[in-house]
């Protein structure tokens, strides 16, 4: 099978000083977490730290911080603590928004610029606004503390900048994570809603009417650290954007040329032409991506094989099993059985 490489997932190092400060506020020994993840001493120069680091190493940093008190929900607290300083220091353009909906749209776009290889999305379904987030490379695992940290950050932004005077009951609607529950942290008490685990993506939901609320910027940190994140130009492979678009939709149903072309701002004909020039086909690309997702789900989750097949858009568990065997030479149950034998 042809190798389809996902563009490396990275995050701007400008976030690291703020992460270190937020960890300390959340009761995490930042120096220890940085050392345990191979990052050395935490940087102490706010915002001016340049360059990038692999997102896999960043997730290790958050896993290391959370491991210090695994049942205390420290990474959720860290995400809450970083909200105001991050908007002031990393995303100051967001504070020019007049309403929460505009602020969130600006913020999600800026987050994808700072943090390559991730998918942020906002949608309104009826009277509910849904914010979703996932790292698109299934090889970056474990990442449970990253999910908690990121949703806590988004939760805090909504609460602090757009929900004045609203109780938790008026705010909380839904919270879900793609990872299985791996700690006893009482996130229900901390968030006001019982989270779901093992879901297709990480998701925070709140009343859509909050989107029309005016942005509140009276937090003392909002007027400080106004220097923006340096822009980055990364050379990309000829079809890297197409590969990334496929991985963004993994686990959320069928992958069609029409949806991927739309995501890339291309016609279906242009999509096929670019893939042809790169010597690959849409079928080969999606088959490879489905295999990578299936391997991750079989190894890292307890999802039933039938659910994995459904998330990947197969008509039946049998169709998934046949495709998986063609790709790997093994049955899905065999891959899961190997892990159980080793465990």
Parse the chain into domains and list their residue ranges: 10-212, 240-342
What pLDDT score does 283 carry? 93
Span 210-227, mean pLDDT?
61
What are the tens digits of pLDDT across the range 241-260? 899 899 989 888 889 999 99
pLDDT at 138 over 60: yes
Q: Which residues pair with 202 in a beta bridge?
A: 133
The architecture (CATH level 2) of 10-212 comes to Alpha-Beta Complex (3.90)
Q: What homologous superfamily is domain 240-342 in, according to CATH?
A: Homeodomain-like (1.10.10.60)
The per-residue pLDDT for 116 is 92
For 25-90, the DSSP string reads: HTT--HHHHHHHTT--SPP-STTT--SEEEHHHHHHHHHHHHHTSTTTTHHHHHHHHHHHHHHHHT
Query: What is the rounded CA–CA span in Å between residue 270 and residue 279?
Result: 14
151/131 Cα distance (integer angstroms): 9
| Model confidence at 140: pLDDT above 90 | yes
Q: Give pLDDT, residue 220.
A: 47
Helical spans, DSSP H, in the chain: 16-25, 30-36, 55-67, 74-89, 100-114, 144-162, 168-171, 187-191, 240-249, 257-263, 268-277, 282-300, 305-311, 317-328, 332-342
The band of 165, judged by pLDDT with boundaries at 50, 70 and 90, is low
Q: pLDDT class for 233, splitting at 50, 70, 90?
A: very low
d(CA 82, CA 263): 31
From CA 110, how far away is CA 229, in angstroms rounded? 9
What is the average pLDDT score of the chain? 87
pTM, full prediction: 0.81
Ramachandran region, residue 255 (left: φ > 0; alpha: ψ -120 to 50; beta: rest) = beta
46 confidence band (pLDDT: 50, 70, 90): low
pLDDT, tens digit (0-9, with 9 covering 90-100), for 262-297: 988 888 988 998 998 888 899 999 999 999 999 999
Residue 17 CB burial class (10 angstroms; 0-12, 13-18, ≥19): buried
Separation CA 168–CA 11 (nearest Å)? 32
Angstrom distances, CA of residue 73 to CA of 125, 157, 188, 301, 308: 29, 18, 11, 21, 28
- Span 30-43, average pLDDT: 93
Is the pLDDT at 162 greater than 80, yes or no?
A: no
């Amino acid at each position: 099978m042809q190798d389809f490489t996902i563009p490396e997932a990275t995050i701007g190092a400008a976030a690291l000083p703020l992460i270190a400060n937020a960890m300390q506020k959340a009761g995490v020994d930042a120096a220890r977490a940085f050392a345990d993840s191979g990052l050395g001493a935490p940087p102490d120069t706010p915002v001016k730290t340049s360059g990038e680091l692999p997102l896999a190493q960043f997730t290790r940093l958050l896993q290391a911080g959370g491991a210090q008190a695994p049942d205390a929900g420290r990474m959720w607290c860290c995400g809450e603590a970083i909200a105001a300083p991050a908007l002031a220091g990393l995303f100051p353009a967001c504070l020019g928004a007049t309403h929460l909906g505009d602020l969130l749209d600006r913020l999600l776009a800026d987050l994808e610029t700072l943090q390559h290889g991730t998918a942020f999305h906002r949608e309104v379904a009826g009277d509910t606004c849904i914010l979703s987030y996932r790292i698109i490379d299934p090889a970056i695992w474990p990442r449970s503390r990253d999910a908690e940290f990121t949703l806590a950050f988004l939760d805090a932004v909504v609460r602090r900048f757009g929900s004045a005077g609203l109780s938790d009951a008026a705010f909380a609607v839904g919270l879900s994570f793609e990872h299985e529950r791996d700690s006893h942290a009482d996130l229900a008490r901390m968030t006001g809603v019982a989270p779901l685990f093992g879901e297709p993506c990480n998701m925070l939901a709140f009343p859509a009417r909050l989107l029309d609320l005016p942005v509140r910027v009276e937090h003392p940190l909002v007027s400080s650290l106004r220097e923006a994140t340096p822009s980055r130009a990364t050379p990309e492979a000829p079809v890297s954007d197409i590969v990334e678009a496929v991985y963004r939709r993994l686990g959320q149903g069928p992958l069609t040329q029409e949806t991927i072309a739309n995501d890339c701002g291309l016609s279906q004909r242009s999509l096929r032409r670019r893939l042809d020039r790169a010597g690959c086909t849409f079928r080969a690309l999606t088959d490879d991506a489905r295999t990578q997702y299936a391997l991750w789900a079989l190894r890292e989750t307890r999802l039933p094989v039938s659910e994995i097949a459904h998330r990947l858009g197969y008509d039946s568990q049998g169709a998934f099993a046949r495709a998986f065997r063609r790709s790997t030479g093994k049955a899905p149950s065999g891959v899961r059985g190997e892990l159980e034998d080793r465990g």
